[in-house]
Amino acid sequence: MKRRKFLSGAAAGGVVAGAALLASCGKEEAPKQAAAPAISEGIKELKMVTTWPKNFPGLGTGAERLAQRITTMSDGKLQVKVYAGGELVPPFQSFDAVSEGKAELSHGVSYYWQGKSPAFNFFAAVPYGMNAAEHYAWMLWGDGLKLYTELCDNFGVVPFMRASTGVQMGGWYRKEMKSMDDFKGLKFRMPGLGGEVLRKLGATVVNLPGGEIFPALQAGTIDGTEWVGPWNDLAFGFYKVAKFYYWPGFHEPNTTGEVLVNKKVWSGLSKQHQEIIAAAIQAESTIEKAEFDYKSADALDALINKHGVQLRQYSDEMMRGFYQAAAEVVAEIGNKDPFTKKVYDNFMAARARAIGWSKLGEQGFMNARSANFKT
């Protein structure tokens, strides 16, 4: 059975997937794990490792919801237990854990694995790349998922596209950024290709898992950081040690997450259980993206009006500088090796195709609404 058929499983699962989706909407806390059925015959216990702190809003709780959804939809035959980053393996070892069979599933973002192949970046986020809707379209209807699967096959894992967190904020800074010169020598936490752009501009870039960012910022080990957006940034409390909050996030216009499944484990599942896992991931992707969009609005208001955060927009000069550096970095990374070049060429063609419609559709409407909306 083809992978794309599995990703349409939410539709094939119809009533079951839809009911599960509606049941979890609007819940603040991650659901408790369902008790194991009295009869254990045929039950598979699956470990899901993540890169997130335990029950962290949106990301950690999304992993818990997904685990519960899989367990419920399989009538308890698939028992998924979630391990936060560091509980079973360190956050940035979750890929290896699944690849080596130490865990059955992982929940993270593919740009964390760029050291294994630069191509992993294109399935997560690319500076000045595609937004969430455009990236979804490439992954599900273009060649994105096909190329992603081909890449992951070399590591013994099967990939699934998880939720996108949407356009991210530019990040938190201890001081106001007035020109491109301010990035020289700046110690900044930013993963993926965005980090490579800042490095090209003279910054010292580090990659830290979520749970290590605040202590580093508080101790002055780093001068600034990006994470996701208002909802998650509020939860981490970055406003306590950095007051300048910049937008827009040129580096991650979509940030699509992933779920990886050990290939041998996947092949050993029944077609029904494969379909359940695919449908559950797709259902949770819809819920999680909506949750980020909804809760970030209130969180941004709280950051500004309750915690005194100073919102700053990157200057036109900075945005041009980011764009020029990004074009060079992405092209350089995209030509690192034959397979990455194949992904890069396909991605850039999809971006060019998407821009034509988005300029008239989404962007046209958003510009008109902004110009006429009165607060």
Residues 225 and 115 placed together within one structural domain of the fold: no
Q: Looking at 70-79, 227-236, 366-375, which range is the least confident one?
A: 366-375
- Where do we find the tokens 């202590």? 215
- Examine the pLDDT at 63 and tell me if it is beyond 50: yes
Residues 201 and 261 in one domain: no
Shared-domain flag, residues 188 and 67 = no
Does 137 fall in a domain?
A: yes
Please report whether residue 149 resides in a domain: yes
Query: Mean pLDDT across the stretch 264-293?
Result: 97
CATH code for the domain in which residue 178 is found:
3.40.190.10
Whole-Å CA distances, 149 to 139, 144, 263, 266, 275: 11, 9, 11, 13, 17
Strands 310-313 and 244-247: parallel
Q: Which residue range is the domain that position 353 belongs to?
A: 171-252+308-372
Q: With respect to residue 314, please indicate whether it lies within any of the assigned structural domains.
A: yes
13, 275 contact by CB (below 8 A) = yes
Whether residues 236 and 130 share a domain: the answer is: no
Together in a domain, 61 and 177: no
Band of the pLDDT at 38, cuts 50, 70, 90? Answer: very low
CATH number of the CATH domain containing 104 = 3.40.190.170
Query: Does residue 31 carry a pLDDT above 60?
Result: no
Give the DSSP H/E element, type plus range, for residue 46: strand 44-50
Residue 118 belongs to a domain = yes
Average predicted confidence (pLDDT) for the chain: 91
Same domain assignment for residues 149 and 239: no
Residue 302 domain flag: no
8 and 108: one domain? Answer: yes
pLDDT bucket at 375, cuts 50 / 70 / 90 = low
CB 57 within 8 A of CB 235: yes
pLDDT of residue 35: 46
| Domains: count for the chain | 2
Residue indicated by tokens 């397979």: 339
Same domain, 237 and 345: yes
Residue 317 sits in the same domain as residue 227: yes
Residue at 300 is within a domain:
no
- pLDDT tens for 143-194 read 999 999 999 999 999 999 999 999 999 999 999 999 999 999 999 999 999 9
Kindly state whether residues 7 and 49 are assigned to the same domain: yes
pLDDT at 29 over 50: no
User: d(Cα 59, Cα 135) in Å, to the nearest integer?
Assistant: 19
Distance of alpha carbon 284 from alpha carbon 162, whole angstroms? 8
pLDDT by residue (tens digit) across 232-268? 999 999 999 999 999 999 999 999 999 999 999 999 9
Residues 226 and 267 in one domain: no
Q: How many CB atoms lie within 10 A of CB 270?
A: 13
* Residue 225 included in any domain: yes
